[in-house]
Amino acid sequence: MDTLNRYIAIEVIKATLVSALVLVTLVLFFTLADEVGDIGKGQYDFWAVVKYVALTSPSVFYDLLPSSALIGTMFALGSMSNNREIVAMRCAGIAVSRIVLAVMRAGLILVVISVIVGEFVSPTVNRIAREFKATTQSGRIASWSIYGFWIRDGHSFINIRQINHRTSLGNITIYDVDFDHGLGSIQHAEKADFSDGMWVLTDVENTSLSKTSVEIDRKPSKDWESVIDPDLLNVVVVNPGNLSGMGLYRYIRFLKDNEQQTRRFELAFWQKVIDPLVTLVMLLVAIPFVMNVSRSVGMGQRMLTGILIGLVFILFDRVVGQMGLVYNMKPIVAALLPGFVFLVFALIMMRRVS
């Protein structure tokens, strides 16, 4: 029995990884075609595009792993069915539950892979990709952390704690360094809005520092010429889907401490927690479609079925997530609902197979 379990698990994992390779390649190809239109911005040439697209591949793999598991399981078990291996197992007295258990063991390995990629690989590489694209296109050094967005402009270091929109900023602090590498002044503004090619600071407090005195000057508004433009912010703005689970948890606490909205990030956090388990649900969904279908059905038809189910799940998941934000649904409920619906569907189908 251990040999049979190992055989089924290996076949499912192999087919899943092959499916993931095909799907990731397709998505990266379309991403490459889309990024080609930005060639010529700053130093963003063709090889920079290739590097950027390559850096996004772990994130694409993580997003497509549940669909890949669905297609891979259909392919692996479908191949066994066409070769009458499933029939031989059933005739030998092996219950459907034993086959399901073997598939689930493979699913646990895929869950571990999903957690590793989603928690440790994808967020780091995504951050590198965003910063690489931003600095290559703008020629400026920019980075983001849980303490806000940082950028250097000559002898000034700018920290932005809140990005409401790419043309609306909040809690901006500008640190000016003098020629002796000392801190010359600190300028803080509650708000900044981009209009007519210029930033306008609101509620500005400027603190000038010298060896003998500190002077504070306050103004209701002030024009601000800066290298920061909306296109640069659009690239490096905080994307909750690109943070790890721990990163989301820390960022949510940071936003709450600063009395900012957290619903979007809470939804992303619960989706990050639940997404690896969705892989197991997709495996359960795939099994009835193989067991209930005649072995004369070709691989192409099974793969098409798997792709369609995967697309339906992705669309359903995104629609429920957006509706949850619009209608103030609890983030954990909005994150759980798509997977729960597909789990119920899989269990009903499994009951028919049994």
Strand, coil or helix: what is 161?
A: strand
* Angle (nearest 5°) at CA 309 between 275 and 95: 85
The answer as to whether 231 is a domain residue is: no
Looking at 193, 226, 259, which one is the last position of a domain? 226
* The pLDDT of residue 116: 94
* The pLDDT of residue 297: 57
The answer as to whether 304 is a domain residue is: yes
Q: Which of 96, 105, 93 has its CA nearest to residue 8?
A: 105
Looking at 195, 226, 257, which one is the last position of a domain? 226
Same structural domain for residues 265 and 117? yes
Q: Is the dihedral of CA 316, 322, 328, 334 positive or negative?
A: positive
> First CA to last CA across the chain, in angstroms?
20
The answer as to whether 234 is a domain residue is: no
Same structural domain for residues 40 and 62? yes
The C-alpha atoms of residue 53 and residue 301 are separated, in whole angstroms, by: 31
146 phi, psi to nearest 5 deg = -65, -10
The C-alpha atoms of residue 140 and residue 154 are separated, in whole angstroms, by: 9
Strands (E), 210-310: 214-224
Same structural domain for residues 122 and 244? yes
pTM (2 decimals)? 0.76
203 phi, psi to nearest 5 deg = 55, 65
For the chain, state the CA radius of gyration. 26
pLDDT in tens, the chain (354 residues): 578 889 999 999 999 999 999 999 999 999 999 998 888 887 888 999 999 999 999 999 999 999 999 999 988 888 887 788 877 887 887 877 888 888 999 999 999 999 999 989 998 898 788 878 877 876 655 556 656 777 777 778 888 887 766 677 888 898 888 767 678 888 999 888 887 778 888 898 988 887 777 888 888 888 887 767 666 665 555 667 677 888 888 878 877 776 777 888 899 899 999 989 999 999 988 888 777 655 555 666 767 777 788 888 989 998 998 898 888 899 999 999 999 999 999 888 888 765
Strand, coil or helix: what is 87?
A: helix
* The pLDDT of residue 238: 60
* The pLDDT of residue 158: 86
Same structural domain for residues 132 and 274? yes
The C-alpha atoms of residue 51 and residue 318 are separated, in whole angstroms, by: 28
* The pLDDT of residue 296: 54
Burial of 149 (0-12, 13-18, 19+ CB in 10 A): buried
Same structural domain for residues 180 and 129? no
Same structural domain for residues 56 and 189? no
Six-digit token string for 298:
């070709």
Same structural domain for residues 131 and 175? no
Quote the DSSP letter at residue 200.
Answer: E
Burial of 58 (0-12, 13-18, 19+ CB in 10 A): buried
Q: Which residue has the tokens 């099994």?
A: 287
The answer as to whether 232 is a domain residue is: no
Which amino acid is residue 307, in one-letter code?
I
* The pLDDT of residue 100: 86
Same structural domain for residues 107 and 203? no
Same structural domain for residues 216 and 246? no
The C-alpha atoms of residue 328 and residue 263 are separated, in whole angstroms, by: 8
> Range of 22's domain?
2-139+240-353
* The pLDDT of residue 179: 66
* The pLDDT of residue 289: 77
How long a stretch of residues is the chain? 354
Judge whether 59 and 122 are in contact, CB under 8 Å. yes
The answer as to whether 33 is a domain residue is: yes
The answer as to whether 30 is a domain residue is: yes
Q: Domain tally for the chain?
A: 2
Same structural domain for residues 120 and 23? yes
Looking at 161, 194, 226, which one is the last position of a domain? 226
Six-digit token string for 38:
């930005």
